[in-house]
Amino acid sequence: MSSPASDASTGAELLDVIVRLNRWVTHHSDWTVPVAQVRVLAQIDDWGEARTSDLARAERCSQPTMTTRLQQLEALGWVARARDRQDARATPLTLTDAGRAVLADARSARTRVIDTLMAPMDAPRRQRLQAATRALRELLDAAYNQLPPTRRSP
């Protein structure tokens, strides 16, 4: 059985590795779209549609900052405003086909970097990494399922 101290150090190490991996992949990817824009596109893609206030909360930025980001994405033709049938004042945002294409390109670029990193790995090591990835996904899925729907922002 593990101790709380070893669990804490495992958690800290896990976060450090994930942050470093994300930084490495971002730095070595061949896409030019700002990371903040890709994160917003990914969030809208995950949710299907999103309100400015929800996106600001998910990205931990002010609503005016998110409004500016969304105006940029809208000007690029990557997001579109829709009508909310239940609240006429609300204007949820959705991805356009162009926005989905940009997001797919960014994800592909990041995947190519990961694939290059993993290329020299032997089969047993890849299998361990796949098992660890599944465990992390299960951990996150369980955490998100415990939250009320309004707080389930990945």
pLDDT digits over 42-95, tens only?
999 999 999 999 999 999 999 999 999 999 999 999 999 987 677 667 789 999
Strands (E) across 73-141 are located at 79-81, 93-95
pLDDT bracket for residue 146 (50, 70, 90): confident
pLDDT band at 150; cut points 50, 70, 90: low
Under DSSP, the state recorded for 151 is: G
Residue identified by tokens 């204007």 is: 91
Nearest Cα neighbor of 102 from 81, 70, 73, 59 is 73
Token pair of 138, please? Answer: 């299960």
Q: Report the pLDDT value the prediction gives residue 86, as an integer from 0 to 100.
A: 74
> How does 78-92 read in b/e, with b if 16+ C-beta sit within 10 Å?
bbbeeeeeeeeeeeb
Query: How many whole angstroms from its chain centre is CA 131?
Result: 21
